[in-house]
Structure 1
């Protein structure tokens, strides 16, 4: 499987909420499959200080060869990789939209997005099933009695594409934790969708969402559940659903997008590795 690698250039920056920037990029190359299914994962490559654009290895037929070439770049020149979900593609164009959560000047992605302007260039690797094999979401959801999607603001781009893919007649619930009321976004769906917004208002990330489950009233019947966001909160919610609510493990698609007080550059914890092994084993 060839790993798609290209440069992308900023053409527009919009603040869709006080803490979220939606940035439109023009891609030099883009597969026809990009933007055709929900929850497409990709990685953005950020330049090091002093670089106009990141230093990217040439595309390789073997994805591991590309990654080895990436690691061979001297560390001070090697671009920083961060994971994102494609928010959308403008039909008939090579324009893609990616949402950035602006949580301050503490990480390379947020710091870059705070200053992003037309003409700025990044590298884009993917979208590719190598990062997240696509779940046949609409079909799986339609077969369940009801669907629950839960996450924080980092999960909103993926969650929005998923509820947009739900067919008519599906009963769906979305529980979303955000910093405050100003961070709400409109979600379009053909399904019978009920959205519950949960506000941190200063609480620890993930805490409000995790606490909502024991006190929440879940419908009867067999669900399909999609969880994403802060890894500790996702882990706690999944444990509650399996152990207290009796939801089969195979009915839960879960991903820890980020870790409180840790970055993607930090080594995975034992719990991170256990989650990865369980996902690889099909839950």
Structure 2
């Protein structure tokens, strides 16, 4: 009998190991028997982390029952009172090892105000964590945004929240691809080892005391100036598909082309206002077709993530 599996499922995990990668980055290796079925798509694969309540518990809304659909238990979760609703946060998987029933998730440490950073700062081996992630047995996949098509040149830009996705993407790039990668991080010590193809330049941008996004924006604008000097394409004679409306501040800032066009593909992720401004510059200012620009507002300054 054929069994149909949902693209995403709930995994009970515990912390196996923790590794401090840099002052701001902490890698948590999670383990659990069901991780043998965890999907291994890689790249910018999104997952959800369900964090424990202050007493370490997880309210059961049916998330562990495979007969209950994700939308149903999510509805129940939303109806819970605040004190019974486990925080849910979106992360990118860093590595998957189904043969050893392990996954790696990298956390950005920024104090204890946010539930995920607070949990990661204190959790030791054996601490429980619930993960909503892909099921390798499912016919469908989801949660992947990287889609460069046949583009031979890439622009990748993001802040520290995008580091796990950027690292996984860069490590997967074919040898013939060329391009530029800009990663804004809190300090110089947060630059991580990253193997890139010979034609792909990676720059870690230490923010230090500068405003969030300032150094990333400056780097992408400088990239644009070089591009303009090397090409005759401008915003005035840009190809079709570049029409761009300014998003409402309450909208989810997330647009990913179904199929990239052209020879250059841009992938932008991080703080929403910074990423929105960079996308606007690429499309309106430089005339890059919007169908070649993927942009994702991972978080918005001053606001908690809406699960």
1: CA distance, partners of 2:87 / 2:80: 11
2: CA distance, partners of 1:31 / 1:249: 38
The equivalences for 1:213-252 within 5 A come to 213-216=220-223, 217-218=226-227, 220=231, 222-252=263-293
1: CA distance, partners of 2:146 / 2:159: 22
Cα deviation digits, residues 119-148 of structure 1 (max 9, x gap): 1001111237999643463x62xx114111
Q: Identify which of 83, 108, 116 aligns with 2:115.
A: 108
2: CA distance, partners of 1:46 / 1:33: 19
Q: Identify which of 139, 148, 159 aligns with 1:152.
A: 159
SS across alignment from 2:34: coil
Contact 1:2/1:63 (CA < 8 Å) preserved in 2?
A: no
Q: Identify which of 57, 71, 94 aligns with 2:61.
A: 57
2: CA distance, partners of 1:100 / 1:120: 15
2: CA distance, partners of 1:215 / 1:233: 15
Superposition RMSD on alpha carbons, in Å? 2.4
2: CA distance, partners of 1:31 / 1:248: 41
For 2:205, the equivalent position in structure 1 comes to 198
Structure 2 alignment gaps of length 5 or more: 1-5, 232-261
- Verify: 1:9 aligned to 2:14, yes or no: yes
2: CA distance, partners of 1:255 / 1:136: 11
Change (3 A) 1:184 1:263: same
Contact 2:50/2:130 (CA < 8 Å) preserved in 1?
A: yes
Change (3 A) 1:133 1:124: closer
1: CA distance, partners of 2:298 / 2:268: 10
The equivalences for 1:133-282 within 5 A come to 133-135=143-145, 137=147, 140=149, 143-190=150-197, 192-216=199-223, 217-218=226-227, 220=231, 222-265=263-306
- CA drift at 1:105: 1.4
2: CA distance, partners of 1:191 / 1:153: 23
- Verify: 1:119 aligned to 2:129, yes or no: no
Structure 1 alignment gaps of length 5 or more: 267-283
1: CA distance, partners of 2:21 / 2:39: 23
For 1:68, the equivalent position in structure 2 comes to 75
1: CA distance, partners of 2:143 / 2:115: 26
Name which of structure 1's ranges 213-222 and 40-49 shifts more when overlaid on structure 2: 213-222
Structure with greater Cα Rg: 2
TM-score of the superposed pair, with normalisation by structure 2: 0.78
1: CA distance, partners of 2:101 / 2:166: 23
2: CA distance, partners of 1:156 / 1:245: 25
2: CA distance, partners of 1:44 / 1:204: 28
Cα deviation digits, residues 209-252 of structure 1 (max 9, x gap): 11222233236583100000111110010000001111100001
Q: Identify which of 44, 48, 51 aligns with 2:49.
A: 44
TM-score of the superposed pair, with normalisation by structure 1: 0.85
